[in-house]
């Protein structure tokens, strides 16, 4: 008994200044002693009266602690007293706790594919691609839409919703897409997702098996590659030129895909528009071979000049296209609402699969967004942002043209970024590092390359979050960073030449 009582009475339980009650402290002490094997299986615990006297606490405290341990299965109680339960490998859990900080986790092998990923935590610095003008978001109108949703639907909206999302929002999105993007759809085809990223994962889950081939734009959107990697697909890069994704004629025969990712309205990151000839060819070949096209229209709403470029999905009836969209740019990224418009032929079967795969939630935000769209606030906000981004893009184009060779600027009159190609000798990653030290946040074009290529060297420069009047100064800082890297590269080449001639 003395042996058993030792681990329990070592060190007093203290009431003073402790946020944890005496009985909680005693329970934790007993649990740790059992898990560490200091109180072995079968050991008889002291009577509550004896332990209370030893510890100088009330008997009731010990009784409550023993009851709790009994309820959790740490001890067994019978007429003879309270004994420690036989617990498998109790001592090894204590060792494991100490080792866990240093332990190697046996990750899934697909995690290796993300090992080289650079972390981009900072999305607030100037020139960040993909961050909209958050300070121009109409908060008062959004607040009204949220309040209206609360009045309309509480408390019912606190419960689970439809896995495909709130019908009101799905209908509102379908109506908007028919009008603004020429998408052929109704609300039954729309599935609301947590941003475009979940929509891409859903396409992979619904339409592919591990090992299937998927084509992807090169350079291209890393989020699509990540979604394909997570589905264990075999990703095949397709080069992008000024007409968008360029598929070699024999690729359909040699390596037919199950899934193809495209961003036709504004290729990310080169800004190319997929030509109508290529769109029609992709649709025809996909139909012929049973492949599916993903059309990511993430910033197609922001065409600054001329008529909007209509969606590929709406080009012909019943195209094998899953149209993916997001409110991350048109509203704000933290809303995390995106969607996929399924082909009509997929709707019925997908509905049952979705019951297993998704839980309907975020209902208040979804209803608020439906209100925002229906009240015309979304359309007005888009109009204002188009004008703002047009102005910012002009400022960026002018500043880049002044400081760099204009022929190296890629990107159409759409979206929220331009891409500046750099000569191969100037490392884009080195420039980005210098720029980040100056609180500028362009991305390295080489980071979007699936297969490394000399041409994919440059800067992806966002203007969504940078006021026009700050752009000239930011670009001249950027030019200094580029010159510094160019100077270092020249110095290195000079040294190499000097060494070669010295050797000669």
Give contact residues for ligand PLP (rule: CB under 6 A).
130, 195-197, 221, 223, 263, 268, 296, 298, 326, 328, 333, 338
**What are phi and psi for residue 191, nearest 5 degrees?**
-115, 125
Maximum pairwise Cα distance, the chain: 97
Alpha carbon distance 383, 101 (integer Å): 52
For residue 269, the minimal CB distance to ligand PLP (Å) is: 8
> Is the Cβ of residue 328 or residue 366 nearer to ligand PLP in the bound state?
328
Q: In this structure, what DSSP letter does residue 414 have?
A: B
The closest of 262, 270, 268 to 291, measured between CA atoms, is 262
> Is the Cβ of residue 74 or residue 228 nearer to ligand PLP in the bound state?
228
Q: In this structure, what DSSP letter does residue 453 have?
A: -
> Is the Cβ of residue 368 or residue 426 nearer to ligand PLP in the bound state?
368
DSSP 308-373: PPPPSTTTSTT-SEEEEEESTTTT-GGG--EEEE--GGGHHHHHHHHHHH--B--HHHHHHHHHHH
For residue 195, the minimal CB distance to ligand PLP (Å) is: 3
For residue 132, the minimal CB distance to ligand PLP (Å) is: 10
> Is the Cβ of residue 62 or residue 410 nearer to ligand PLP in the bound state?
410
Helices (H), 45-138: 48-55, 59-72, 90-99
Alpha carbon distance 390, 305 (integer Å): 8
Ranked by CB distance to ligand PLP, the top (closest) residue is: 195
> Is the Cβ of residue 81 or residue 223 nearer to ligand PLP in the bound state?
223
> Is the Cβ of residue 258 or residue 443 nearer to ligand PLP in the bound state?
443
Alpha carbon distance 484, 431 (integer Å): 8
Please give the structure tokens belonging to residue 271.
């800004």
For residue 449, the minimal CB distance to ligand PLP (Å) is: 15
For residue 87, the minimal CB distance to ligand PLP (Å) is: 45
Alpha carbon distance 207, 212 (integer Å): 10
For residue 316, the minimal CB distance to ligand PLP (Å) is: 23
Contact 259, 402 (CB under 8 A): no
> Is the Cβ of residue 66 or residue 378 nearer to ligand PLP in the bound state?
378
For residue 465, the minimal CB distance to ligand PLP (Å) is: 13
**What are phi and psi for residue 164, nearest 5 degrees?**
-80, 0
Q: Reduced to 3 states, what is the DSSP secondary structure of residue 395? A: helix
> Is the Cβ of residue 107 or residue 114 nearer to ligand PLP in the bound state?
114
> Is the Cβ of residue 29 or residue 170 nearer to ligand PLP in the bound state?
170
For residue 216, the minimal CB distance to ligand PLP (Å) is: 11
For residue 329, the minimal CB distance to ligand PLP (Å) is: 7
Alpha carbon distance 311, 296 (integer Å): 10
Per the listing, tokens 């972390």 go with: 119
Alpha carbon distance 321, 286 (integer Å): 9
Torsion 398-399-401-407 (CA) sign: negative
């Amino acid at each position: 008994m003395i042996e058993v009582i030792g681990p329990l009475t070592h060190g007093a339980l203290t009431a003073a200044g402790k946020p944890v009650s005496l009985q909680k402290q005693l329970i934790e002490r007993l649990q740790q002693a059992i898990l560490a094997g200091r109180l072995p299986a079968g050991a008889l615990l002291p009577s509550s009266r004896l332990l209370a006297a030893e510890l100088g606490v009330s008997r009731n405290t010990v009784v409550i602690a023993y009851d709790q341990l009994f309820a959790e299965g740490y001890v067994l109680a019978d007429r003879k007293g309270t004994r420690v339960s036989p617990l498998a490998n109790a001592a090894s859990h204590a060792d494991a706790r100490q080792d866990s900080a240093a332990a190697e986790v046996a990750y899934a092998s697909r995690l290796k594919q993300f090992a080289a990923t650079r972390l981009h935590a900072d999305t607030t610095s100037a020139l960040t691609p993909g961050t909209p003008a958050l300070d121009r978001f109409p908060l008062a109108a959004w607040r009204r839409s949220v309040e209206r949703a609360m009045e309309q639907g509480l408390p019912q909206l606190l419960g689970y919703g439809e896995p495909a999302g709130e019908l009101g929002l799905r209908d509102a999105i379908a109506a908007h897409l028919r009008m603004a993007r020429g998408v052929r759809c109704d609300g039954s085809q729309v599935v609301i997702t947590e941003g475009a990223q979940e929509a891409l994962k859903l396409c992979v889950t619904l339409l592919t098996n591990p090992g299937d081939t998927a084509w992807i734009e090169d350079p291209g959107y890393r989020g699509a590659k990540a979604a394909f990697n997570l589905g264990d697909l075999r990703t095949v890069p397709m080069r992008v030129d000024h007409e968008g994704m360029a598929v070699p004629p024999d690729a359909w025969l040699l390596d037919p895909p199950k899934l193809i990712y495209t961003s036709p309205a504004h290729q990310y990151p080169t800004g190319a528009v997929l030509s109508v000839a290529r769109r029609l060819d992709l649709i025809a070949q996909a139909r012929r071979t049973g492949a599916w096209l993903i059309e990511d229209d993430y910033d197609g709403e922001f065409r600054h000049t001329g008529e909007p470029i209509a969606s590929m999905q709406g080009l012909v009836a019943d195209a094998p296209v899953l149209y993916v969209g997001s409110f991350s740019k048109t509203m704000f990224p933290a809303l995390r609402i995106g969607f996929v418009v399924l082909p009509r032929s997929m709707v019925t079967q997908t509905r049952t699969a979705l019951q297993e795969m998704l839980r309907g939630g975020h209902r208040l935000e979804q209803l608020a967004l439906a209100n925002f769209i229906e009240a015309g606030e979304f359309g007005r906000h888009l109009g204002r942002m188009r004008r703002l981004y047009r102005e910012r893009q002009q400022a960026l184009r002018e500043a880049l043209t002044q400081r760099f060779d204009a022929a190296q600027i890629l990107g159409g009159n759409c979206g929220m970024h331009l891409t500046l190609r750099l000569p191969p000798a100037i490392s884009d990653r080195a420039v980005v590092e210098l720029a980040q030290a100056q609180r500028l946040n362009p991305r390295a074009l080489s980071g979007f390359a699936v297969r490394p290529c000399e041409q994919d060297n440059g800067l992806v420069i966002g203007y969504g979050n940078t006021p026009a009047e700050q752009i000239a100064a930011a670009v001249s800082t950027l030019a200094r960073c580029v010159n510094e890297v160019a100077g270092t590269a020249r110095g290195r080449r000079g040294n190499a030449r000097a060494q070669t001639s010295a050797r000669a």
